[in-house]
Amino acid sequence: MSEDKKVVWWFHRVYYAETDAMGVVYYGNYFEWFEQARDNYLRNRGMSYAEVEERGIFLPVTETFCRYLYPAKYGEEIKVKTWIKKVSRASIVFGYEVYNLTSQDKLMTQAETTHACVNKEGKITRIPRWLLEIVS
Amino acid sequence: MSEDKKVVWWFHRVYYAETDAMGVVYYGNYFEWFEQARDNYLRNRGMSYAEVEERGIFLPVTETFCRYLYPAKYGEEIKVKTWIKKVSRASIVFGYEVYNLTSQDKLMTQAETTHACVNKEGKITRIPRWLLEIVS
Amino acid sequence: MSEDKKVVWWFHRVYYAETDAMGVVYYGNYFEWFEQARDNYLRNRGMSYAEVEERGIFLPVTETFCRYLYPAKYGEEIKVKTWIKKVSRASIVFGYEVYNLTSQDKLMTQAETTHACVNKEGKITRIPRWLLEIVS
Amino acid sequence: MSEDKKVVWWFHRVYYAETDAMGVVYYGNYFEWFEQARDNYLRNRGMSYAEVEERGIFLPVTETFCRYLYPAKYGEEIKVKTWIKKVSRASIVFGYEVYNLTSQDKLMTQAETTHACVNKEGKITRIPRWLLEIVS
């Protein structure tokens, strides 16, 4: 990640609904955190994802990758670092890192999600200038 | 429940996603079972809920009640008994009982969900004859 | 609700994971909000639920009731009012009301959850004095 | 995938809880399918995951990858192909492909999950012979 990339943090406390009987956050539930962290990123850059959609642009997920280093437990406070890893003509890659505030800021999880840029008709479309300004 | 009420059973095995760090099924996840048990009931009576919607009728939930007697754990096999508790002019009440096959068929949970009968415009509407035949 | 009951508010924005293909929050997902609103209530009164557990007391849910008046949609901001409806020897009833900040503070949902007071051995036990002070 | 790899199929119908307001299955919910498909695979080879745990071996997820080609919708029937992609000294990689039975068996999703082999003390451990026989 280059120095000049904008980074936005999202804070959260683990609750029971997110955990499983192994005592840790269920591996599929991290993606709910990434959705919220991503919206928080866009919002911080000036436009919520709801507003992106209102302008006729949708960003469906086309790929996800997640590496689980250490599990998060009930009641722990975590923070998610979010940034843009890559922007192409019609796709955006978000990067995420989850840190555990309750455990000396230990890095817990690394992930990325790739999104296509799609118009109202569901067709892949070039990222419009107003969105490019937010994600660049 | 009167003798002549039709009863339909839905079978399931508890998986990790449904449990929480207390080691048992999370209290909100039972409602996913009830959705599946309800669709199974309708399907068994001759029409899936997807087909009900295709005919322009929607059955949004207006009330839920659930009593949690014993918790279900990872890997346990359960079965859900589903039946119609009450049908009014424009609403239907489903009843549910969850039994634990792994634990001598013990009764675990009792619940009911109330549904309004709504048309495409979102207006409360009288239950059509074809649906009444299924839920009576 | 009597005038002198303490009320605590929890704020939230609806995200995609919580909604379903009907375009609204899935009926079972409200219980995740109530969990968070409940923890927020206890925390606001001086002790998180995690701390309650650390002291050897558990509050498993024994009953839930929820009335769905109006659905909440993606991106809407909601607030949940939480208060104690009733305290008995070994059980606590929480009350909840969901209001839609995006729609003139309209009342959307009314609910209550009943909790048994249980010790480490899983036995129903009298609510200890330190907890009584929080929930009274 | 080589010809001689054992493949196991898991069948499912999409329900409302799994979808979101975009009208399709939420990207994080696929991992619940993969959990069930994985358990189904092991069960089909002779031992449920619950039994693996009873023998003191745990298989926590360390990495996931998912490519979303086409979205699945409410009511559609899908099937998940599951197989072992790779077995190392102390880790197993499962492969998954989701096909849409409602839409000419179209390939919808490709995924893999990597699991560490861990003992009761939480230490990485060599895959025991009895498990190796199942996953090879």
* Residue in chain B lying closest to C30 (CA): B28
pLDDT at B4: 58
- Burial grade of C120 (CB within 10 A; 0-12, 13-18, 19 or more): exposed
What percentage of residues in chain C have a pLDDT greater than 90? 93
The string of pLDDT tens digits covering residues B4-61 is 579 999 999 999 999 999 999 999 999 999 999 999 999 999 999 999 999 999 999 9
Q: What pLDDT, in 10s, does the model give residues C38-70?
A: 999 999 999 999 999 999 999 999 999 999 999
Q: Does residue A4 carry a pLDDT above 70? A: no
The tokens for B73 are 């754990």
Tell me how far the alpha carbon of residue A132 is from its chain's centroid.
Answer: 17
What 3-state class would DSSP assign to B22?
coil
**Residue C77 confidence (pLDDT):** 97
pLDDT for the residue numbered C5: 77
**Which residue in chain D has the smallest CA separation from B38?**
D15
C20 among known catalytic residues: yes
Nearest-CA distance D81 → chain A (Å): 19
pTM above 0.80, yes or no: yes
C16 vs D21, D73, D74: nearest CB: D21
For the CA atoms of C116, B12, D74, B51, the dihedral, rounded to the nearest 10 degrees, stands at -110
Asked if residue C130 has pLDDT above 60, the reply is yes
Q: Which amino acid is located at C99 in the chain?
A: Y
Q: pLDDT digits over A6-21, tens only?
A: 999 999 999 999 999 9
Q: Where are the domains of chain C?
A: 8-135
Alpha helix positions (H), C3-119:
30-44, 49-54
Chain D nearest-CA distance from B50, in A, is 6
B91-131, pLDDT tens digit by residue? 999 999 999 998 899 999 999 999 999 999 999 999 999 99
Neighbours of chain B (3+ CB pairs under 8 A): A, C, D
Check A20 against B20: CB less than 8 A apart: yes
Distance CA D124, CA D90 (A): 7
- Closest residue of chain B to A23, computed from CA coordinates: B21
Whether residue D1 is predicted with pLDDT greater than 80 in this model: the reply is no
Q: Find chain A residues with C-beta within 8 A of C15's C-beta.
A: 32, 35-36, 39
Superfamily assignment of B8-135 in CATH?
Hotdog Thioesterase (3.10.129.10)
Asked if C32 lies within 8 A of A17 by C-beta distance, the reply is yes
Residue D42 backbone phi and psi in degrees, to 5: -60, -45
- Local confidence band at C100 (pLDDT 50, 70, 90 cut-offs): very high
Which ipTM value was assigned to this complex?
0.94
B31: closest CA of chain A, how far (Å): 13
pLDDT more than 70, % of chain D: 97
Count CA atoms closer than 13 A to B81's CA, side-chain side. 17
H or E element, residue C33? helix C30-44
pLDDT digits (tens, 9 = 90+) for D12-70: 999 999 999 999 999 999 999 999 999 999 999 999 999 999 999 999 999 999 999 99
